[in-house]
Amino acid sequence: MSEPSSRVQKTIAAMRGVRPSILPSLLLCDFANLEKEVRLLEEAGVDCLHLDVMDGNFVPNISYGMPIVSAIRKVTDLTLDVHLMIRDPNTYASQFVDAGADLITFHIEALPRPSDLLAKIRSQGVAAGLAINPSTEMSHLLPWVGECDLVLVMSVEAGFGGQAFNPIALERLSELRKANGPDLLLEVDGGVNLKTVGQCTASGADLLVVGSAIFREADYCQAMTRLRREMQI
């Protein structure tokens, strides 16, 4: 097995080994104290950090780019899950590999024929997957699932804040799990909290991206404990 392929398999095996797992989305963290935030999350027992990259083009918000991913990589050995909500993932994916990503997902809406980029990311030793918005028909995604290490099912439209959890995500998680068995990692992002986390795991989600239900709480350890208690394993 080649070195890049071995690294991908190691990452996927590690994530399978901790599923279901809560992935804090750093979008809501205190960036003035970034290393401190990472340490608090490590103390809370998280396995992976979720990094939302928005370009102000594919989505109407701008977040951060390679320098933040690189900075986080320097202060932690936690798995870094990078979600590219950008118009041109072909141009920038390799730069996020270099910045230290362990998993990279990009949107089927941004690249309707994703095979080459999925293969390129994996050839660089990083697990690769596709994300899909609630408003996009699953027929756009399904032909490519077999080429993915993970699929990210959005339960809100990417990039728009304050949206309610869309239950279509539960249907899609169940459909994907039934069709692909236990090997495919399934991730869900958007509106995941104490009320919805159990529904998500019951529908087959392995990786659950959580923002406000962690970062708007005073104690991250207690927040994680409450979320884990609600997961249906």
pLDDT at 1 over 70: no
Report the distance separating Cα 69 and Cα 179, nearest Å. Answer: 33
Tokens of 146: 């077999």
pLDDT at 233 over 60: no
Q: Which CATH architecture has domain 3-230?
A: Alpha-Beta Barrel (3.20)
**Residue 72: closest CA among 44, 46, 37:** 37
Mean pLDDT score of the chain, rounded to an integer?
96
Catalytic residues: 52, 189
User: Are 10 and 194 contacting, i.e. CB atoms less than 8 angstroms apart?
Assistant: no
Average pLDDT over residues 105-114: 98
- How sure is the predictor about 110, in pLDDT bands with cuts at 50, 70 and 90? very high
Average pLDDT over residues 197-223: 96
**Residue-wise DSSP of 138-183:** GGGTGGGGGG-SEEEEESS-TT-TTPPP-THHHHHHHHHHHHHTTT
pTM here is: 0.96
Report the distance separating Cα 140 and Cα 223, nearest Å. Answer: 36
Q: Helix, strand or coil for residue 118?
A: helix
pLDDT at 2 over 80: no
pLDDT at residue 164 in the model: 87
Burial label for 111, CB within 10 Å (0-12, 13-18, 19+), is: buried
Average pLDDT over residues 156-184: 92
What residues does each domain of the chain span?
3-230
Q: What is the pLDDT of residues 4-53, one digit of tens each?
A: 899 999 999 999 999 999 999 999 999 999 999 999 999 999 999 999 99
Q: Helix, strand or coil for residue 233?
A: coil
Average pLDDT over residues 67-88: 98
pLDDT at 128 over 80: yes
pLDDT at 173 over 60: yes
- How sure is the predictor about 192, in pLDDT bands with cuts at 50, 70 and 90? very high
pLDDT at 214 over 90: yes
